[in-house]
Amino acid sequence: MKPSTVLYKDASVPVEIRIDDLLSRMTTHEKVMQLNQYTLGNNNNENNVGEVAGELPAELGSVIYYNDNPDLRNAYQRRCMEESRLGIPCIFGYDMIHGFRTIYPISLGQACSWNVPLVERMTSYAAAEGRMSGVDWTFSPMIDVARDPRWGRVSEGYGEDPYANAAFCAATVRGYQGKSLADSTTIAACLKHYVAYGASEAGRDYVYTEVSPQTLWDTYLPPYKAGVDAGALTLMSSFNDISGIPGSANYYTLTEILKNRWKHKGFVVSDWGSIEQLVNQGNAADKKEAGLRAFNSGLEMDMMSHAYDKYLEELIDEGKVDSVLLDESVRRVLRVKMLLGLFEKPYTGNHPDRFMRPDALSAARQLAAESMVLLKNDSTGILPLDGVGRIAVIGPVAKSSASLQGSWNGRGVYDETVTLYQGILDRFAPEAEIRFAKGSDLDKTTEVELAQAVDTACWADVVILCLGEERRWSGENASRSTIALPEAQLQLAEKIAATGKPVVMLLSSGRPLDLSQMEPLANAIIEVWQPGTAGGAAAADILSGDVNPSGKLAMTFPRSTGQIPIYYNRRGSARRHQGFYQDIPSTPLYPFGHGLSYTTFVYGEPSVSSSTFRKGEKVTVTVPVTNTGLRAGAEAVLWFISDPAASITRPLMELKHFEKRELKPGETTTFKFVIDPMKHLSFPDADGNIILEPGDFKIIVGPHTVNLVME
């Protein structure tokens, strides 16, 4: 006789029927508890210190899991399954932003690789490490379009362009969620921070964001739509006040757009304390009102405000919260748990070999190398290094593993990081002799240190000067009033340049930097970002030419902090030849899309299937690209559209397609962009209605512009 399985525990029954059955059995208290997230394990996030519940209730919906071993999870999960009345499994979330134990480049660096398939593959490896460690759900991808590098969180997203953020968002959702969420190697994704957090005023964190409805639809919502379309099961509401209505109490974004228009079937979790913080923002008189506003706006789960567990039942009793909305919210959470297979497999198995697997490490090294951007390589042609006898590795970042891991480095172990120095040693010694001098700390130096560095430089044939940021200078709660490096590092660079030795500058940072004073002091400059576990090895791959650099900037490098905001897809000025700065050029130091190679690529004349077409017709534009150099290399071809005259002004150019391919020396290959007018030439109005207007359009690819007319 088969043991009687209650309906909601029967995996052969359709999920919605199971949820109906379970909801019918739940008390109001049990429903409310599903909408709360506490913490479990050792919270090492210094920005979020919250009360650690002594004894976690067995009816709790979710925890943030600060551990990389499943034992603690399984022990608590067993309480949820066996001590609660209905045995509803808990869902364990965690910030796996660019890796779990194997750490990959920060997302801003990943975007510069323009290698979507590689990012998707790397994300699947990260998901496997996390799921096999007890994490079912990651608070990633972060897809906040950002144009102010004073904001430390530019490191976490995919740069200044909506389309790039959308493309990498969809790739990470596919990577995390895979083909089946019930697999022991996939996890639920979480699109964050919904929405427009990247518009943080003056690059400060947690502050007001002035976002017009038009800009909300033009710039900030597209990556979220791409993530929802890719099947992302969850989102995280943002801290920021969106022009008067904070992201965590915004009915228009959380319900009207996400649920009513986009038909999202998962749930939204708040950011840490963002419900309670509505009081600070002046949107609620107290935590109870904050809970009311947040819940009725469509925010399902409360991360650590303790507003829902404390007040939701009261609000229901007072008739201020509708029990229908309560059931719908709980349904969404239960749906995700069932899709993850948590009712059938609530516990995590034992996988001792889950970390740093060869395929993960190989992807980490490849993605790190492809994320690095060769910003400068002057006529001395110092790179790639070839047959050098004496190499001086100098600078405060040379032996730093923390800098290379960056912020949100998950369960990364610093000692497992290949530093820049170690990578150079492994690749170039013993053929080359390597010497090290720190020369300065990140933000101070001494005459003795400078003198030692100068001596070491004078001894060498070439200097690799490793400068940049400390890992906590970017990421959350890490705004900086200037994007120039500290004076001490400039002083070191000047001293080294004065020796007259060839200098290759490696920069490790979580944001674009003001390099105006640094640029003249080096023959070559590579932005290595925060490249993760294999960072030093990847840097050596680039320095040696084993890998030809292919990175292109996904975020503009301004000439100075004073130019911010400066980004490529801005609207046109009323006067094309006026309105410039009087004291510096008004162009960036390195524009969006900039990145050099050790070979050269020539873009031939584009061809177009028809330069005149009607709304319903597609147009194909192709361009031949030739590797005219002597070295194989990969080229990311970026395709932009321009709509020079529209009823709502459009950016001067907008990225709408990109593709990256490896070309052998002398090889010519044809890149193609199939233009679907409704997808590529339309734009939203201030309420998201799609507009497609006939008229002139331009397609921009490399140095070429193709004129099209839509009738």
Q: Which residue is closest to ligand GLC by CB?
A: 139
- CB 274, min distance to ligand GLC, A: 8
- CB 293, min distance to ligand GLC, A: 19
Closer CB to ligand GLC, 46 or 431, in the complex:
46
38, 272, 436, 592: residue in contact with ligand GLC (rule CB under 6 A): 272
271, 302, 313, 541: residue in contact with ligand GLC (rule CB under 6 A): 271
d(CA 70, CA 223): 33
Please enumerate in sequence order all residues whose Cβ is within 8 A of that of 574, keeping only pairs 6 or more positions apart, or say none: none
Q: Is the dihedral of CA 467, 470, 475, 477 positive or negative?
A: negative
Site for ligand GLC in 60-89 (CB under 6 A): 64
- Asked if 682 interacts with ligand GLC (CB under 6 A), we say no
Closer CB to ligand GLC, 223 or 593, in the complex:
223
- CB 363, min distance to ligand GLC, A: 23
15, 28, 48, 252: residue in contact with ligand GLC (rule CB under 6 A): 48
Contact 659, 637 (CB under 8 A): yes
- Asked if 45 interacts with ligand GLC (CB under 6 A), we say yes
Instruction: Of 534, 533, 528, 567, give the one whose Cα is nearest residue 551.
Output: 528
Apex 279 CA angle, 475 and 283, nearest 5: 100
The two tokens of residue 55 are 């004894």
Closer CB to ligand GLC, 64 or 675, in the complex:
64
Site for ligand GLC in 119-158 (CB under 6 A): 139
Piece of the chain touching ligand GLC by CB under 6 A; list 40-48, 363-371, 531-539, 621-629: 40-48
The two tokens of residue 688 are 């998201």
Residues in binding contact with ligand GLC, number by CB under 6 A: 10
Instruction: Of 461, 457, 468, 391, give the one whose Cα is nearest residue 423.
Output: 391
Piece of the chain touching ligand GLC by CB under 6 A; list 41-49, 353-361, 480-488, 699-707: 41-49
- CB 138, min distance to ligand GLC, A: 9
- CB 58, min distance to ligand GLC, A: 23
- Asked if 567 interacts with ligand GLC (CB under 6 A), we say no
Contact 114, 636 (CB under 8 A): yes
- CB 96, min distance to ligand GLC, A: 10
Contact 109, 422 (CB under 8 A): no
161 catalytic per annotation: no
d(CA 228, CA 190): 10
Please enumerate in sequence order all residues whose Cβ is within 8 A of that of 68, keeping only pairs 6 or more positions apart, or say none: 100, 101, 133, 134, 355, 411
30, 68, 95, 300: residue in contact with ligand GLC (rule CB under 6 A): 95
- Asked if 557 interacts with ligand GLC (CB under 6 A), we say no
Closer CB to ligand GLC, 114 or 194, in the complex:
194
Piece of the chain touching ligand GLC by CB under 6 A; list 2-10, 44-52, 378-386, 442-450: 44-52
Contact 463, 392 (CB under 8 A): yes
Check 241, 271, 309, 514 and give the catalytic one: 271
The two tokens of residue 608 are 């177009």
| Terminal CA-CA length for the chain | 71
Please enumerate in sequence order all residues whose Cβ is within 8 A of that of 314, keeping only pairs 6 or more positions apart, or say none: 288
Please enumerate in sequence order all residues whose Cβ is within 8 A of that of 382, keeping only pairs 6 or more positions apart, or say none: 462, 502, 504, 523, 524
- CB 202, min distance to ligand GLC, A: 18
d(CA 633, CA 663): 6
Sort strands 462-468 and 503-508 into parallel, antiparallel or unpaired: parallel
Closer CB to ligand GLC, 111 or 372, in the complex:
111
Please enumerate in sequence order all residues whose Cβ is within 8 A of that of 260, keeping only pairs 6 or more positions apart, or say none: none
- Asked if 476 interacts with ligand GLC (CB under 6 A), we say yes
Residues designated as active site: 271
Residues in contact with ligand GLC by CB under 6 A are 45, 47-48, 64, 95, 139, 192, 271-272, 476
